[in-house]
């Protein structure tokens, strides 16, 4: 084996070792959108339970964010808290405690929103997830999925959701849904079409007891 | 039935019959070459198998011979090592107990002299003579008879003088006896001391005798191995297998200990190197924990090697005594530091687990409660983290036995497999030979009808007036 060949093998070994040592993107990124509109504000306690469950499930290095859905959700001011947990478990635990306190304080002081801009919230969540670039991207929407936009807001355009899993949680039925269930099913179907056409995956989970199985975190 | 076989149109039965007849006739005609082909193939397979079997047998023999050499060499080396160790022990015993023998001998001689001297001094003096008593009695009687005569007075005075002298002698005798008793009582500790000295000497000599007997046994074994007797070979092979199994079992137990050790330090390692980075498919923290355990085992190997308990690295064995001692201290120090690190990591693991439990309770909406006596498992983990590195040090001993015995066991397994393979190939050749013969017979069964006809014709010709016998013989030879 001549010197050049030996050097090549050494370089290959070094590259392989360095690529093996390279830090991968954190495993999971989750963004939870909480609907604060008048028809849904009563469900906030459940949203808090979901947040706590996620905090207990996510590992060090994972990313987690929570934002409210209100009249104009495509805005940083609607983001309550977002963080990537530290690599060290003890520091990550402290971050989770602070996260929980922030969400708890929000739940105590939140006021009902006049409109419901779900699309803006999803765009905001996807933007942050793409920025953090975790291995798995999940957007949780805690809402009745009834979008009610203020006048002048434009949201009827395709969303880029490639590689993002969108999960609608606790989709409650509205009064008119009881009158005509087709409205409820049509609403969910419309959201499915929007998400799938954007390249994402769509799931609905109404039974929060099976959250662990459905989230697959 | 294919159309090309339909020799007689619209009559498959007849066609098949014609084909069968043609086939039988063809086979009858080609009987001799067909038999030669079958026989040739069978012979080729048989010969090939025989050659292969012989070749495998040769390899088997060479490997068995090589194994025997290795076995004997290992046995010789082991026995030499044991004999060397016994001689070292005897040397140490002689150095310890008998090197001071001149001083011991002088001490014994002094003690004996002292006892002898004391004994001489303690010799009993002569008692007062019996005649004196008789003289005194006679003098007394004379005094009584002679009453107040001058002779009586003289005798009485003489008697008084003798009595006084007797009393003085008796008193001196008693004085001497007391002195002798004192001397004798002074001799007791000297006797005891001498007894103790002699017991010590006896113990040393007995120990040397026992070791000598052991050396004799070892020498007997050594001679047996050197003469390469089958009994010695079997004994050595059995011993190697036993060593292999025992060492394997101990290594399995040690690996379980290593796993427990890994569990103790893997979680807290994520605090040091992070929980997200990966090395291939493994977390870096797990790799770091494994590296620490491997370093501990390596240090343990070096420590055992430096203490000359194991002999896995000849380089270390060849080092001089001072360097080895320095190396032993260095490896022990590293082990001690690693044990301290592990102990602290084990404590950190307990803290992390408690923190995690507290967070889970908070997230579930409960109040955080620290259970009482939580310090007990924490302390247990710390102690375990400190002890396990030292316990893993002793892995070196079974590892050495395993490596040495596995060479012999693997060789024996390979020899067994080769023997089985040679037998299987030989059996296949034998089967091919008989299959060839069977095929020939089967061939003849198919064409039995023309054969029978041929035989009848030949018999009829042989009964004829001329030439028939010669022609039949020629045909038969040709056919066979």
> In this predicted model, what pLDDT tens digit does every residue of A139-179 receive, in sequence order?
999 888 888 877 778 778 888 889 899 999 888 888 788 78
Tens digit of each residue's pLDDT (9 = 90 or more) over A79-126: 889 999 998 888 999 999 999 999 988 888 888 878 888 999 999 999
Out of A16-20, A112-116, B201-205, B238-242, pick the least confident.
A16-20
Q: How far is the alpha carbon of A113 from chain B, nearest alpha carbon, in Å?
A: 27
pLDDT at residue B126, as a whole number: 58
Out of A46-55, A58-67, A197-206, B231-240, pick the least confident.
B231-240
Selecting from A23, A59, A92 the residue whose C-beta is nearest the C-beta of B277 gives A23
% of chain B beyond a pLDDT of 90 = 34
Can you tell me whether residue B476 is helix, strand or coil? helix
For chain B, give the longest Cα–Cα distance: 191
Reported confidence tier of residue B465, pLDDT bands at 50, 70, 90: low
**Does residue B145 surpass a pLDDT of 90?**
no
Q: How far apart are CA A188 and CA A181, in angstroms?
A: 11
The set of residues, in sequence order, having a beta carbon less than 8 Å from that of A91 and lying 6+ positions away, is: A60, A85
pLDDT at residue A83, as a whole number: 92
Q: How far apart are CA B441 and CA B437, in angstroms?
A: 6
Q: Which of chain A's residues have a Cβ under 8 Å away from the Cβ of B275?
A: 59-61, 87-89, 92
Tokens of B405: 């015995």
Convert B340-373 to b/e letters by CB count within 10 Å (16 or more is b): ebbbebbbbbbebbbbbebbeebbeeeeeeeeee
Out of B49-58, B190-199, B407-416, B436-445, pick the least confident.
B190-199
B351: nearest CA in chain A? A90
Selecting from B280, B355, B362 the residue whose C-beta is nearest the C-beta of A20 gives B280
Which residues are A204's β-sheet partners?
A: A168
ipTM confidence: 0.74
Q: How far is the alpha carbon of A57 from chain B, nearest alpha carbon, in Å?
A: 10
Chain Cα centroid distance, residue A6: 49
B365 touches chain A (CB under 8 A): yes
Q: Which of chain A's residues have a Cβ under 8 Å away from the Cβ of B288?
A: none
Beta carbons of A89 and B278 less than 8 Å apart:
no
Selecting from B284, B355, B364 the residue whose C-beta is nearest the C-beta of A93 gives B355
Check if the beta carbon of residue A58 is closer than 8 Å to that of residue A29.
no
Beta carbons of B363 and A60 less than 8 Å apart:
no
Check if the beta carbon of residue B352 is closer than 8 Å to that of residue B267.
yes
Q: How far is the alpha carbon of B315 from chain A, nearest alpha carbon, in Å?
A: 28
Q: Which residue has the higher pLDDT, B475 or B248?
A: B248
**Does residue A1 surpass a pLDDT of 60?**
no
Q: Which residue has the higher pLDDT, B123 or B429?
A: B429
Best mutation target among A13, A26, A50, A88 (most B Cβ atoms within 10 Å) is A88
Tens digit of each residue's pLDDT (9 = 90 or more) over B32-80: 999 999 999 999 999 999 999 999 999 999 998 888 888 888 888 888 8
Averaged pLDDT for residues B147-176: 79
Can you tell me whether residue A140 is helix, strand or coil? strand
Domains and CATH numbers, chain A: 27-215 (3.40.50.410)
Rg of the Cα trace of chain A? 21
Q: Which residue has the higher pLDDT, B306 or A78?
A: B306
pLDDT at residue A19, as a whole number: 45
**Does residue B260 surpass a pLDDT of 50?**
yes
CB atoms within 10 A of CB A45: 8
Q: Burial level of A183, CB count in 10 A (0-12/13-18/19+)?
A: middle
pTM for the complete prediction?
0.63
Q: How far apart are CA A131 and CA A76, in angstroms?
A: 14
Q: Which residue has the higher pLDDT, B285 or B108?
A: B285
If you average pLDDT over every residue of chain B, what do you get? 84
Q: Which of chain A's residues have a Cβ under 8 Å away from the Cβ of B286?
A: none
Helix (H) or strand (E) segment spanning residue B424: helix B396-446
Averaged pLDDT for residues B243-272: 91
Best mutation target among A86, A90, A91, A100 (most B Cβ atoms within 10 Å) is A90
Selecting from B279, B284, B362 the residue whose C-beta is nearest the C-beta of A100 gives B362
Averaged pLDDT for residues B182-186: 79
pLDDT at residue B130, as a whole number: 59
**Does residue A20 surpass a pLDDT of 60?**
no
**Does residue B102 surpass a pLDDT of 70?**
yes
Full 3-state SS string of B390-419 = HHHHCCHHHHHHHHHHHHHHHHHHHHHHHH
pLDDT at residue A18, as a whole number: 43
pLDDT at residue B479, as a whole number: 45
pLDDT at residue A49, as a whole number: 87
Q: Which of chain B's residues have a Cβ under 8 Å away from the Cβ of A96?
A: 359, 363
**Does residue A6 surpass a pLDDT of 80?**
no
Beta carbons of A87 and B276 less than 8 Å apart:
yes
Q: Which residue has the higher pLDDT, A127 or B7?
A: A127
**Does residue A4 surpass a pLDDT of 50?**
no
**Does residue A5 surpass a pLDDT of 50?**
no
Reported confidence tier of residue B354, pLDDT bands at 50, 70, 90: confident
**Does residue A212 surpass a pLDDT of 90?**
no
B420 touches chain A (CB under 8 A): no
Cα separations (Å) of B246 from B140, B258, B397, B406?
Answer: 101, 18, 11, 12
């Amino acid at each position: 084996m001549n010197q050049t060949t030996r050097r090549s093998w050494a370089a290959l070994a070094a590259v392989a070792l360095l690529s093996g040592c390279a830090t991968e993107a954190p495993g999971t990124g989750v963004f939870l959108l909480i609907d604060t509109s008048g028809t849904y504000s009563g469900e906030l306690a459940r949203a808090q339970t979901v947040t706590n469950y996620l905090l207990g499930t996510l590992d060090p290095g994972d990313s987690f964010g929570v934002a409210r859905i209100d009249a104009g959700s495509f805005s940083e001011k609607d983001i309550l808290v977002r963080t990537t947990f530290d690599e060290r478990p003890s520091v990550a635990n402290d971050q989770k405690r602070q996260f929980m306190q922030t969400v708890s304080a929000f739940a105590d002081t939140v006021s009902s929103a006049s409109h419901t801009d779900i699309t803006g919230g999803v765009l905001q969540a996807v933007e942050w997830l793409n920025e953090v670039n975790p291995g798995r991207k999940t957007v949780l929407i805690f809402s009745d999925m009834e979008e009610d936009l203020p006048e002048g807001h434009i949201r009827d355009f395709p969303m880029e959701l490639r590689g993002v899993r969108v999960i609608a949680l606790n989709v409650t039925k509205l009064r008119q849904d009881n009158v005509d269930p087709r409205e409820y099913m049509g609403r969910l179907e419309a959201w499915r079409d929007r998400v799938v056409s954007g390249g994402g995956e769509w799931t609905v989970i109404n039974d929060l007891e099976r959250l662990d199985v459905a989230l697959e975190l | 039935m294919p159309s090309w076989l339909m020799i007689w149109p619209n009559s498959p039965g007849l066609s098949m019959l014609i084909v069968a007849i043609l086939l039988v006739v063809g086979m009858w005609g080609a009987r001799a070459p067909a038999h030669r082909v079958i026989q040739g193939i069978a012979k080729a397979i048989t010969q090939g198998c025989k050659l292969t079997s012989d070749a495998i047998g040769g390899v088997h023999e060479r490997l068995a011979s090589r194994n025997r050499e290795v076995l004997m060499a290992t046995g010789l080396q082991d026995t030499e090592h044991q004999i060397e160790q016994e001689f070292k022990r005897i040397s140490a015993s002689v150095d310890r107990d008998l090197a001071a023998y001149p001083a011991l001998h002088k001490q014994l001689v002094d003690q004996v002299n002292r006892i002898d001297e004391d004994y001489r001094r303690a010799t009993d003096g002569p008692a007062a003579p019996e005649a004196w008593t008789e003289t005194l009695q006679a003098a007394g009687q004379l005094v009584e008879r002679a009453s107040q005569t001058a002779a009586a007075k003289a005798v009485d005075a003489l008697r008084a003088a003798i009595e006084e002298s007797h009393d003085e002698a008796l008193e001196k005798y008693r004085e001497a006896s007391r002195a002798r008793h004192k001397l004798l009582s002074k001799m007791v500790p000297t006797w005891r001391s001498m007894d103790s000295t002699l017991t010590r000497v006896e113990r040393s000599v007995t120990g040397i005798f026992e070791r000598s007997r052991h050396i004799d046994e070892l020498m007997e074994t050594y001679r047996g191995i050197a003469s390469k007797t089958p009994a010695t070979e079997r004994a050595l092979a059995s011993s190697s297998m036993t060593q292999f199994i025992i060492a394997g079992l101990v290594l399995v137990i040690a690996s379980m200990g290593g796993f427990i050790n890994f569990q103790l330090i893997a979680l807290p390692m994520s605090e040091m190197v992070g929980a997200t980075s990966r090395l291939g498919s493994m977390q870096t923290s797990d790799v770091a924990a494994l590296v620490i355990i491997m370093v501990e085992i390596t240090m343990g190997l070096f420590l055992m090697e430096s203490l000359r308990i194991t002999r896995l690295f000849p380089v270390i064995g060849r080092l001089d005594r001072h360097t080895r001692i320095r190396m032993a201290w260095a490896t022990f120090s590293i082990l001690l530091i690693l044990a301290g690190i592990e102990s602290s990591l084990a404590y950190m693991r307990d803290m992390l687990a408690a923190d995690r439990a507290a967070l889970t309770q908070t997230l579930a909406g409960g109040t955080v409660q620290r259970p009482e006596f939580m310090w007990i498992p924490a302390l247990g983990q710390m102690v375990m983290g400190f002890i396990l590195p030292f316990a893993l040090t002793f892995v070196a001993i079974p590892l050495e036995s395993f490596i040495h015995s596995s060479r012999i066991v693997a060789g024996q397994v390979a020899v067994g497999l080769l023997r089985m393979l040679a037998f299987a190939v030989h059996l296949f050749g034998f089967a091919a030979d008989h299959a060839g013969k069977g095929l020939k017979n089967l061939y003849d069964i198919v064409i039995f009808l023309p054969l029978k006809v041929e035989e009848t014709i030949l018999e009829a010709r042989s009964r004829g007036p001329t030439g028939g016998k010669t022609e039949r013989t020629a045909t038969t030879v040709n056919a066979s």
